[in-house]
Amino acid sequence: MKKNVFNVLTIAGSDSGGGAGIQADLKTFSALGVYGASVVTALTAQNTQGVQGVFPVTPEFVMAQCDSVFNDLRIDSVKCGMLANAAVIEAVAACLTRYQPLVFVLDTVMVAKGGDVLLAPEAVRALRETLLSLADMVTPNLPEAAALLGTDMATDETAMREQGRALLALGAKAVLMKGGHLKSEDSPDWLITPDEECRFTAPRLDTRHTHGTGCTLSAALAALRPQRPDWKTTVQGAKNWLTQALMQADRLTVGRGIGPLHHFHQWW
């Protein structure tokens, strides 16, 4: 019997440098064996050295893209990244409520790797109040979790787990707390669900080429969840693949700043 190829949608901003956003998501989808579609929420003038400009797409056109995709394609999973402002967030929430995808991964993108702000401060409330409760999985790093909760950033794994449970209480069905900002030898992440709490760890790699890591991880989760029986095995598979993409990043020569991962390390 012919095996169906899953269709996965990314709703995110475009990265003209190709390392993050829509471009990283589509590369991740292809590398992990799913067909990728896209809804662009913002254009960025961006490279490995920073973000030089952001041009948000109107909420009406974001919704038009969503309608085009969902009215034709069978979408098995959705990943959401950069949303830029409250009006776009509300449009995306309306789209997800209308079409109710089976899997929705929310990457709470707020700041780029180089420190550039990608989500207007007033939009954090809209993200918390309209999208968290729709998410099957939310993937904040520690500063993002603190911003969503209006509290100080976690400085240890106990606080990470507490904040993960607090995000569950706000409506998310599962939370992957990313611990890259902790000052520890390894880089621990915690999967928090109503039924279990699981620790995942990976070595801290000696590379400066980490642009798009968060986008890529959330895209990998969206790509793999339809192919895996549960979130635990999905997270482990995504992290294993991401670690290899980071380990192979130095093989690429892209830009003079913080370069991208090697999404196609298994292929070339």
Catalytic sites, residue numbers: 178, 210, 212-215
Contact (Cβ atoms closer than 8 angstroms) between residue 40 and residue 57: yes
CA 26 vs CA 61, 93, 192, 222: distances in Å = 20, 22, 27, 11
Contact (Cβ atoms closer than 8 angstroms) between residue 89 and residue 114: no
3-class secondary structure, 216? helix
Q: Are strands 35-47 and 175-178 parallel, antiparallel or unpaired?
A: unpaired
φ and ψ at residue 208, rounded to 5 degrees: -95, -5
Q: What is the DSSP letter of 111?
A: B
Q: Give the whole-angstrom CA distance, residue 175 versus residue 166.
A: 10
State the Cα angle at 212 between 33 and 181, rounded to 5°. 120
Q: Give the whole-angstrom CA distance, residue 256 versus residue 171.
A: 41
The structure tokens listed for 227 are 């192919």
